[in-house]
Amino acid sequence: MMIVNVMISIIAMVVSIFSLIPTVVFAYELPDLGRSSVGAFTPSEEKKLGKEFIEEVRRSAQVVEDPIIGDYIQKLGQRLANNNANAMGRKFRFFVVQDPTVNAFAGPDGYIGVNTGLILATRSESELAAVLAHEIAHVSQHHLERSFKEVKGLNIPMAAALVAALLIGPKGGSATGNAATGVLMGAMAGGIQHMISFTRANEAEADRVGIATLYQAGFDVTAMSGFFARMQRHNLEYKDQIPPYLRTHPVTTERIADADNRVAQYHQHSIKRAALVAFSSHYSLVRARLQYFAHPDNLSAMRYFKMKLDNIGKKVQQDVALNNIDAMRYGYVLALASDHQWLAAGSNIDVLIKRNPHEVIYQMTKAQIQIATKQLDAAITTLKSAHVAQPNYYPLSMQYAQALTKAQQPQAAQVILKQQLALPFRSSSLTEPSTYATLADNAAKSGKLADAYLYRANALKIAGYYRDANVLLKQALRLPNLNPNMKALLQHELAVMKSLEREESKLGV
């Protein structure tokens, strides 16, 4: 009986995460309902739960590793988190899952995922921001901690597998996740009423906090009712074959009206101020990039973007992103480049650079084409110029470092990568391991083996593989001719890693 109750509570907790569309209320009206519930897990337990959760997500779904997409979603999410008073000071990791269904979810330890299908379903950056603001609210209002009190009887890997299975669905992956899903399905029948009650209470609060965050971050709050209405139309179109998302995200006329009423609480000049926020070019470029990835082959992608380019100007499209001729041309360039049509790709990217010479993504694409056509020196010149203008842009730094490595300049590449790691706010802990791994490769090529071991150990540390990091550090300490400073640094890191490993072992994982 206890196990069934635990399973039901997990279901209630996870389903409460799904509803996406915020409503509006002023910040001073928002109660912090979750304070008394903080502490369901210790910080180390929550961190471990988050690590197990993201590992289960990676096993069960395809996490988009593209640096441009990852950097965009992390910065957008962080901008929102910085405007949620209860979320300030908390570390969030935003990531994108390659999945055509419309969905987003908040997991343990600040992990927030969004499906590619949802990004493509939005028509403005404000709509996408609304989704993320809602998920951040689930974390800031401690909805997860309150629910996690009921899973204290489960070991952490099982709890993480259960959460991941419900959030992203059973898509293969680990045996633990599949077994967990089976148990959950058996427990679901007895927990429907509890699940619904729990969902309504938490979703209402997440709506209110989310829309207030959206406003404080300077996004267009009027975009919400439009998103509501479009979801309602989809609901009517599907009729008896409603997709899972629309079953768990009921959109009604009353809810649309409620959103409009809440937006009306703002003074008219405030709404206009929010609506005048500059449209992000990176939103439309990321969306075009995802649209390119969504096509099964290069030919269909080329046809799609060529058709969009031909149609722009002939008719007015409702979708602002699709009406952006530069974004459509950018997607066309990606398709041409993937089909090795370098001349056409190069001429089209030159058109975009001429229109907007300061857009770093265009410069990166030009360098990509130059590298592919064996113009490595020209590519390094292109990337160097862009890096001087935008030294803190993570995707650019990674591409520049990789080009320098390819040009047999590993030490120059290390300088670029170390500058990224020194920044106070990096893209995400999901990208840091790859940065350290690249540093390790460059250090090894430069003959600095102790540095290579240290960087690789840091990559493992960030990913939570403390035991493996210990092994590497011990190997590094056995290297001959270690200078005293490096030896002391390795010993210090080893002591830290052993402490983390001991702490993890206490959790029973």
Residue 223 pLDDT class (50, 70, 90 cuts): confident
Rg (the chain; Cα; Å): 24
pLDDT of the residue at 252: 58
The pair of structure tokens assigned to 155 is 């070991």
Q: What is the mean pLDDT of the chain?
A: 77
Residue 144 pLDDT class (50, 70, 90 cuts): confident
Q: Are 335 and 301 in contact (CB under 8 A)?
A: yes
Cα distance between residue 129 and residue 505, in whole Å = 38
Residue 278 pLDDT class (50, 70, 90 cuts): very low
CA dihedral sign, ordered 277, 278, 279, 283: negative
pLDDT in tens, 413-428: 999 988 888 776 554 5
Highest-pLDDT range among 204-218, 357-371, 458-472, 492-506: 357-371
The reply to whether 17 falls in a domain is yes
The helix/strand/coil state of 234 is: helix
The reply to whether 412 falls in a domain is no
Residues 414-438 as b/e (b if ≥16 CB within 10 A, e otherwise) read bebbeebeeeeebbbbbbbbebbbb
Determine the residue type at 63: V
DSSP for 11-70, please give it.
HHHHHTT---------GGG---TTGGGTTSS-HHHHHHHHHHHHHHHHHHS-B---HHHH
pLDDT of the residue at 2: 41
The domain tally of the chain equals 1
Closest CA relative to residue 21, chosen from 175, 164, 235, 171: 235
Mean pLDDT, to the nearest integer, of 47-56?
84
Judged by average pLDDT, the poorest of 32-41, 162-171, 358-367, 446-455 is 32-41
Answer whether residue 140 shows pLDDT above 60: yes
pLDDT of the residue at 389: 95
The pair of structure tokens assigned to 106 is 């908040």
Closest CA relative to residue 211, chosen from 149, 164, 171, 262: 262
Q: Which residue has the higher pLDDT, 112 or 464?
A: 112
The reply to whether 228 falls in a domain is no
The reply to whether 125 falls in a domain is yes
pLDDT of the residue at 311: 81
DSSP H helix total and E strand total for the chain: 25, 3
For 55, the domain range is 2-23+30-215
pLDDT of the residue at 304: 95
The reply to whether 134 falls in a domain is yes
Answer whether residue 289 shows pLDDT above 60: yes
Q: Which residue has the higher pLDDT, 315 or 168?
A: 168
The helix/strand/coil state of 104 is: strand
pLDDT in tens, 300-333: 999 999 998 888 766 544 444 445 889 999 999 9
The reply to whether 230 falls in a domain is no
Answer whether residue 215 shows pLDDT above 80: yes
Answer whether residue 29 shows pLDDT above 50: no
The reply to whether 326 falls in a domain is no
The reply to whether 406 falls in a domain is no
- DSSP letter (8 states) at residue 249: S
Residue 374 pLDDT class (50, 70, 90 cuts): very high
The model carries a pTM of: 0.81
Mean pLDDT, to the nearest integer, of 29-45?
50
Burial of 115 (0-12, 13-18, 19+ CB in 10 A): buried
Answer whether residue 175 shows pLDDT above 70: no
Judged by average pLDDT, the poorest of 56-60, 161-165, 254-258, 291-295 is 254-258
Judged by average pLDDT, the poorest of 53-62, 171-180, 483-492 is 171-180
